[in-house]
Structure 1
Amino acid sequence: MSRSPARKTKSLWSQTGPTPRLLFGAFAIAAIGLLGLTPREFFGLSVAWPYAALWGAVGWGRVGLSLRPMAFLIVFGLVQDVTFHAPLGCFVILNLLAYGASAAIADMFDVMNEPLIAILAPILLFSGAFLLLWLMASTLEDHAVRAMPLFASLLTTGAVYAVLHRMFDLGRRPGEMAGQAG
């Protein structure tokens, strides 16, 4: 009696196209961002809230540059500017730079198939984005701002992204040119 090889069933997410994936990711970023506007204390301890828009910048950039993710990142950046009382454009620049850097790394390496690059790239991108955020804040304040709250948010942003990174994968297929999936 011979056994036929077991068929792998495709998940609903793997069958979903780039537009629904982008919209779902944008909804998740907006929901997390709205939750971040509520008091963030548990049992008297302050919780470092993640910068959710960076998840989209890093994840969506893996398929290359595309206008729709950039439009979402601009909107999220403007909302962050207003929420954090930053000059208009600060978070827009931060989000778009992280997105462009993610697209550049994805263009240089096959991020989907190289585990080391797939782990190191987000670490470098988040670290670079938070360093840039610290530099912008320090420049605007004319003194070095406290780094520990930003570092705590960096750790939270990275840890949550490690769990949810597939949510921000727009589904670039092997051999597909950058920018075609988004």
Structure 2
Amino acid sequence: MARSYAERRKPGLWSKAGPTPRLMLGSLVIAAVGLFGLTRNDIFGMSFAWPHAALWGAIGWGRVGLSIRPMLILIAFGLIQDVTFHAPFGCFEVVNLLTYAGSTAIASQFDVTSEPLIAIVATVLLFSGAFLLLWLMASTLEDHPVRILPLVASMLTTGALYALIQRVFDLGRRPGELSGQAA
């Protein structure tokens, strides 16, 4: 009996990697995007929206359930975002952790790994909720509604780039699980 292509091919390095190396690589990607975000974000005089990369980790890492390491990393990135955006301490930590909790809740209720429609709808809802929360916090702190267009542009940039690199934020299995234990 002939085996399918998926059965014949050898597992790659990424599929063999456990949650810790995947978490570290995702953290490096977020940090690199964040560092580049500190530079000028205009090309030929046209400004472009920079993504909120920590939300990539919040959504991707939340799909395997609650774990302390991703939460600590999201808190650290939130502190850096607070300093970078001159926000009161705790604002971006709340957004990152609520997005992580939402991703975990959706993943525990639905099969987001093998159902692409659910994964897309969940991701769009999580990004929309995170940016709505950002807008509400910014508007509350400023005592007037802040401009929504820059946030919508950042949300679209964040979502489009996440669609391209989402596999980097897939931890593969729950932290502490051995290979082959994931259901």
TM-based fold match above 0.5: yes
What does 1:21-170 align with in structure 2 at a 5 Å threshold?
Answer: 21-170=22-171
Taking the aligned partners of 2:41 and 2:73, their CA distance within structure 1 comes to 25
Aligned residue identity for 1:119: I
Identity %: 66
CA contact (8 A) 1:81 1:91 kept: yes
Unaligned runs of 5+ in 1: 173-177
Matched residues in 1 for 2:79 and 2:118: separation? 30
Distance 1:16 1:145, change over 3 A: same
Q: Which runs of 5+ in 2 are unaligned?
A: 178-183
Distance in 2, matches of 1:93 and 1:179, equals: 23
Shift of 1:4: 6.3
More deviation, 110-119/46-55: 110-119
> TM-score normalised to the size of structure 1?
0.92
Which amino acid in the other structure matches residue 120 of structure 1? Answer: V
Note if contact 2:66-2:101 (Cα within 8 Å) is conserved in structure 1.
yes
Kept after mapping to 2: 8 A contact 1:65/1:179: no
> What is the CA–CA distance in structure 1 between the aligned matches of 2:54 and 2:93, rounded to whole Å?
10
Task: Say whether the 8 Å CA contact 2:26–2:168 is kept in structure 1.
Answer: yes
Report the alpha carbon displacement of residue 3 of structure 1 after superposing the two structures with TM.
Answer: 6.3
Deviations 1:35-54 (A, max 9, x none): 00000001110010000000
Distance 1:5 1:47, change over 3 A: closer
Q: TM-score, normalised by structure 2?
A: 0.92
1:142-176 Cα deviation digits (max 9, x unpaired): 0000000000000000000000000000002xxxx
**Moved beyond 3 Å, runs of 4+:** 2-6, 178-181
Displacement of 1:10 after TM fit?
1.3
Please give the secondary structure, in 1, of the residue aligned with 2:63: helix
Partners of 1:99 and 1:148 lie apart in 2 by: 24
